[in-house]
Structure 1
Amino acid sequence: MTAHLPTIPPYLRLLDELLSRTASQSGFASARVLVEDGARGLFIPLPFSGSRAPGLRVPPGEPLVCRALKSPEPVFGGGQELAGSCFQDSARIVVLRLSDARSDPVRILLLTDPGPDAEFTTVHSAALDSIRSLVDSAAATVLDAEEQRRRRRDLEHGRLLTDERAAVVERLDDAVAVADTMSAIVKVCAELTGKSVVLFDRRERTIAAAGPHSTGRTSMPTLATILQSYPSDAAAGSKPVVLAAGASTEMIRRKIVTRIAERGEHFGWLVIDEHPTPLRPTDEYTAARCARRIGAQFLSQRRIARVAWNAKSALTRQLILGTGAHEDLAASGEYLGVDTEAHRVLVFVQAPDGEREGFDQTITEHIERSLGVEVLSTRGSEGVILLVEASSDVASVIVVSHVKDALTRAAAAVCRSPGMIAGVSSVCEPAGLSRAYREAREVVQCADRFTPPATHRILAVDDLGPARVFLANGDLDALRRFVGDLLGPLLRDAPGTDDLLRTVQCWFDAGRSPRGAARRLGIHENTVRLRLSRVHAVTGLDIVGDAADQLSIQTALLILRFQGHPALDVVEETTTTAGEDVDVLCLTTTVRPRSAGNAPASHATPHPHSGPPSSPPGSTGTPPPPSTG
């Protein structure tokens, strides 16, 4: 089989023949055309000009070249004149300028010969002058032809690049049509580039990752390590940046890093690793297009989340107010994925002053993650209302305790300053949410009036009992006088009065059981009875036999506990460590199971001492949940 040699264009053969004839007529071994490379400031051999030394590079400051550029005559050099120059491999040379001063690029003819004995005569000079214009025309033709080839090559490269980019856009469109998700876009990016791709959010968490193959694994340094070499002047733009590898960057492979930003908001980073294939020109375009699609996904998901949040907020208000037909509420709940028949704990939250926008959504998400249940919320001018789903197989007291613990952790993690107040209802059915709202709001009012704002205050309705109605709505001066008038003899620092107050409190906490109070105090139950008798004697209140006196004393003790009386067990102080290693003090209480005679105060049925059932929010007496802000 005969091998097919590449075809040499006629203009190249013509130039090669002219140079061979020129060298022969001038008495030199070889001839070549040098052209000026303006980008590098050198004279280099014209391609395909018969050069045997394609690596020859002649600086423009070479003395013989400078003389030739200024003279129309051939410039001869030889012997010691060539020592130390780029022509030192030749014994003698001749340099002749071919093009005129207006030509671009400048062209010169270089004749070289290793033999030092031959002479360069006027006959040789005349021969060069006669063939000079012909060689220059042939060289110009070669340059024009090479320029045309370069343009065709660039056009073909541009066409291929355009086709590749069109394929990128088409693949992304197909991916979005099938699965409009960020993970799908990351997967397509990995397939198009043939490399590992990772999507990070602003908090440097990995959102999605994909390799070039479905079973491929991705291995990527931390985003903090990658961004160490990210140029600061590129931080404001979204153009892909290629980061070099090396010891200074702590990366073993190059990375394409693209900042994901849409409408002036930064969402995250898309990182393409140079593995397992090298980077290609199309990879940066692919990264830019994928980053734009992912940015649009971020905006779209945010809009969807905002619409769903607003819809759930409206449904929450309807559940609390009890407005709307049962069928309509159930249909709305089914559309939003909310069980409108679930039992829930209602929490009324008063945020500290100066809290950032989005406090309601942040604390809701924190409690959802902490408890692993659905939490509905709505916000108004007075505070945030949360509806925490309660499991049917967990006792109400335990559910309330878990909610208070979650609120304590959320307050420490979310609030920038102390002062959050939360009132927690007991577990109730949907029909009892209106009453639960009023009771939780009264708890917040009590805490706001009687406890210091230097701490987070988280209290349950059952912690306060029916006295909360009196404390939340009564005149402060009248309440202080009420305590003084009722328990004045026990508040004068007389010997033994602190023991009497503490005994009364423990007696109530133990369900009015002398034995239970004695166990709590570590004394004999007869001592408890004796102390209760002394209270009767000192205050005139029949604490054992008169229900009205019992309610009055319980209310007064609650006020004293709020005020931090040293003889009483004030609300429990719980220290929770926030995310920034700052200890945040929270005031809360432990919900105690009550005896039949000391029933909780937040059930759907009327209480013995609370009068008729409370009106729902929006009726006369208690304001409705504030309108959504």
Structure 2
Amino acid sequence: MSICDARYTTRILCGLRRGGPGHHKDRREPPMQTRNAAGRPSLRSAVDALGDVVRVIADPSMLATSMAETFRKMVSVDRCAIFFPSGRDEFRVGCWSGQADYTPHLRHLITGKDPFTAEILQRNAPVVIPDSRTDWRVADELDTTLRCNVRSMVGVPIFSGAVPVAIAYLDDEGSATRFSSAQLDTAREFAMLCGLVLGQRERPDSVARARETGLALARRTQLLSEDLGKLAYRNASLAEFASLIADALNRPVSIYDSEWRRVAHGQPPRCLRRPAGELSDPSVRAHPRVEEAIAHVTAGKAQMLPPLPALGLDLRSLVTPIPLGATTWGGLAVFEAGRPFDEYDNHVTSVAALRVALALSTAHLSHRTTEELREAFVVDLFRGAMAAEAIPRRAEAVGLRDGPHAVCVVGTSGPQTSARTARTLLEHLPSATALVATAEIDGWLACLLPLPTGPEPGRAAVEALRDNLASVVSASSNYGRTMAGISTPAKDLAHCERAYRDARQVVLTLQRFDNPHLPRVVSADEIGGGLALLSTAQVDEMRVFAQDKLGPLHTASRHADLLATVHTFLRTGNVLRCAHVLGVHENTIRYRLTKIEELTGLALVGDPDAQVQASLALLVLRLTGECDWNIGLPK
């Protein structure tokens, strides 16, 4: 401490020993309340207490917290928050004292560049806001003051010489208060004492980490980098990356893909539990500040996003791009919960983003962009080249969610189809059809599509997709003999290999029978259990089989009603339901079934083998065009 500082401190202490103005009685004038409990006699005990704290406490963060607590008690207010310079001409909260932490909201109100703080620093004296709801200095942040429950407040500068080392903000929670001259004098003089102490101490803007050496920080970063490298090597999930980064920084961490969907989140157990906000919300991303920040991140530049409480973004966030080749795969967002950001956070976030990018690129080493990664995932998924336990991690890495899906395969009547033509066809589907990922496999385009969840997931959606796709194909001659097969719903991604096989077999079946009167888009459900057989069978042999089983029914027009009964009975599985669908009496159905058995030898009632033969024969007749596809009646 310098001689001048010592003389000043002595002058204050001498003044305390001589005594000063006593305590003023409370006087209350609705709706304002006057707080006059502070005074010089109590300042002497505060000086003594502060001296004891300085001698005992070595941790700068604990020292600052003790200052805030003493400040609050000396000035007789409910709350006190002390802000410290952040190194970028801003002031960030360092400590607080009160019933509950209200500073996450207060950060948006006080930055060092706001009119209130600017006046405090310019005057180098306490500045009072009588009513935050009407005062022009904080009028632009009315929502923040309401969230913080701040009505009247006073800001007190803390200088060390000519350098501002902190600012104390004091208020009575939710109350309109008329601060007395005794309170303001006490606040000013105690701030001078705090400035003397802080001038001799290291500022607590990075808490305990501020006392670590550069070598120790480098070592910690190196260890974290090694741990992240191990996760990348064993193809860990993005959720594991987020958890490790969150634990290292003691901050909430989120990972977003190229479409800014949150694919992973990490929350350290001892971190401040406050909502971090959700950048995946389109309404949040539409805000000009957020939109600008995301544009910079997409261009490969890290961005600091300020708190935007109106959007639910209560915490400042550092968003770092995750590179993948020459493009940006997504972003790594770290939220400022607790202490202010420092260089350690910046460095660790950059290293972590590169390690996440390494994990993404090693998922398929020959693919660099997000689209290529997705296509590689689809190929491996459909060909069964992934272990079941690896599917969720690979899906998460390319921004896909598990759940019900359908597979669509687009081909032509020739040996190959143009993938570009197929993609153009899919682009004309209604916007409600959300195409997730595509891949060209064996000259055909395979598509992975999400389905809604439910007790019977996606069957109605599959039918709607079939109808929409058929409308697009039939509406234009540009698609030639394009045909598409759609699988039955798969309950999750692990079952999509079978779904791809079904969709591919549908196209193979349509291609093999090559009937121009067939629908251009068919689902696996419409072909049924004979799909695997018909996709590889010889058409001539299947014609012979169908004639042998159902020939007497479809060659004679007088038996048209019998063939319709075969189709409907096999579809409904019940005499009563069959009669209801055909609009006849149930005894009529029983008579027809007896007649069918006489003509074909197939006892459809009670003989599963006869039902299978009849079903397969009828399907062949529909595929060859000898029966109408939709109703199963003779042409």
TM-score by length of 2: 0.39
Structure number with the higher helix fraction is: 2
- TM (norm. structure 1) is 0.39
